[in-house]
Amino acid sequence: MVHQTTRHVLVGRWIAELSAPAGQGSLGLPRVAAARAAFFLAFWLMISGWALADLPVGLAAVIGATWVSLRFLPPIGPRYRLGSIASLVVSFLRQSAVSGTDVAWRALSPSLKLEPGLVACPLRLPAGNKRSAFCALSSLMPGTLPTGTDEQGALLVHCLDTRQPVAANLAAEERLFIRAFGGD
């Protein structure tokens, strides 16, 4: 009886370790496990062929690979939101067209006054990969170029005309970026 209780505790612990992290259970462990198992089965069939005699070994390998993948890479919530990425792309293309037209207009019309300079743009993104990716994205906008940060950590952006709403536009783009890719 004690041996059977110990086995139930171990099985319960094993199942608990495979469950999604707290707050991330929306994906559903069975659905994620089924998707991974289907992937591993397809991979097995590509490697070994479609021989029926190899199927028991393949299924054992699929079960083992699925368990290992769930154990070491538990399912998490979606990191990227496709709708938000689409919004970011549309906004980026619109801003690029507007900014590109503005830069071309200023280049072809010397009577337009320029006030080039640096504008400090506070960012919500912490230092790291996502902030670097956002800076790389914003460097593609015509008429502006991120150059570094100031003492307070605000992004310094060189622009052709400091009278333009550079900080407000960058803040709007950052909000779209955070919605699409997260801000952690």
Q: Does this model's pTM top 0.75?
A: no
Give the residue-averaged pLDDT of 151-177: 91
Which residues, 6 or more positions from 152, have their beta carbon under 8 angstroms from its beta carbon?
120, 122
157 within 8 A of 144, measured Cβ to Cβ = yes
107 within 8 A of 99, measured Cβ to Cβ = no
pLDDT of 52 reads: 86
pLDDT of 77 reads: 63
Which residues, 6 or more positions from 126, have their beta carbon under 8 angstroms from its beta carbon?
183, 184
For 91-118, the pLDDT digits (tens) are: 889 988 988 898 888 888 878 888 899 9
For 78-93, the pLDDT digits (tens) are: 566 778 888 888 988 9
Amino acid of residue 76: I
Give the residue-averaged pLDDT of 72-79: 75
CA distance 184 to 178: 9
